[in-house]
Amino acid sequence: MAIFILPAGLLVCTLLIAPMLMMARISLNHYDAMSLMVEALTAENYLRAVADPYYQRVLATTLGVAVGCTLVTVLLAFPAAYWLARMESKWKSAVTILTMFPLLVGNVVRSAGWIALLGNEGLVNAALQGVGLSDHSIQLLYTPGAVIVGIVGVVLPYMVLTLSAVIEGIPRQAEEAAANLGARPLTVFRRVILPLATPGVVAGSVLVFILCMNAYATPVLLGGPQFQMMAPAVYDQFSRVSNWPFGASLAFILLAVTILMTVVGSSILGRKLRA
């Protein structure tokens, strides 16, 4: 049996573990403006990243956006996932494909579409002024709201597909039995569907949260230069400043915080939904 997992194991080690080990070693080096990187074994990059108020704010912004996007995604995805899971039409396969269709479009292309919609001369502002709700352009683009909308649009199909797969496994008889015993639709949802769908909510939330924490193109294009999240900050250190040790330390801090929040959040969410 081990021989069957050997190719996949070697591929993971080659493409994931080896580069991460190299990055870990780079993060312990010293940065010098002249030679760029001096070999060393120092934690100064991590200490600087943790102590710097700017990067504290960037990390806090990243966490806030990721948590907010995850909550919004769950709320938007659950009704759609339930409808998709309970659909008995011959068009169910077509609807499932349409749900996955946004995943075929790159994040940059999607962000360009949101720019056309939310810009000062975009469709949304034109519609608001056309119906008389506003007499001037409203700043919708380059705001935290635009970033959240853009990221939710990216991750929503993942949540819908994950939840619908779990809800399909919930027997209809469980809902019918609760309804026959006098439970109202909201009670059926709260006491029957939601607890049984907990694995899907947790799995989807973890996936969405990880994607939101590591978002790059959407914050850059929809948030503007004043809106900073961790992934663009890491890229700036590598590409613009050429400070590879500090960029590597930021990357590992982002990784550590993502893993910690994922584990803690999954545990808390699972207990609350089952209660």
Residue 36, H or E segment: strand 36-38
pLDDT tens per residue across span 207-245? 999 999 999 999 999 998 889 999 999 999 999 989 999
Sequence ranges of the domains in the chain: 54-274
Residue 16 CB-density burial (10 A; 0-12 exposed, 13-18 middle, 19+ buried) = exposed
pLDDT tens per residue across span 143-194? 999 999 999 999 999 999 999 999 999 988 988 888 888 889 889 998 889 9
With H, G, I as helix, E, B as strand and everything else as coil, classify residue 215.
Answer: coil
How far is the C-alpha of 205 from the C-alpha of 203, rounded, in Å? 5
**Is the confidence at residue 1, as pLDDT, over 80?**
no
Confidence (pLDDT) at 235: 94
Given a contact cutoff of 8 angstroms between Cβ atoms, the answer to whether 227 and 147 are in contact is: yes
Average pLDDT on 21-43 reads: 89
Q: How far is CA 263 from CA 138, 253, 266, in A?
A: 39, 15, 5
pLDDT band at 10 (very low <50, low <70, confident <90, very high): confident
Confidence (pLDDT) at 134: 79
CA-derived radius of gyration, the chain: 23
Q: How far is CA 71 from CA 40, 65, 99, 159, in A?
A: 42, 10, 19, 11
How far is the C-alpha of 197 from the C-alpha of 108, rounded, in Å? 33
Q: Which fold has domain 54-274?
A: MetI-like fold (1.10.3720)
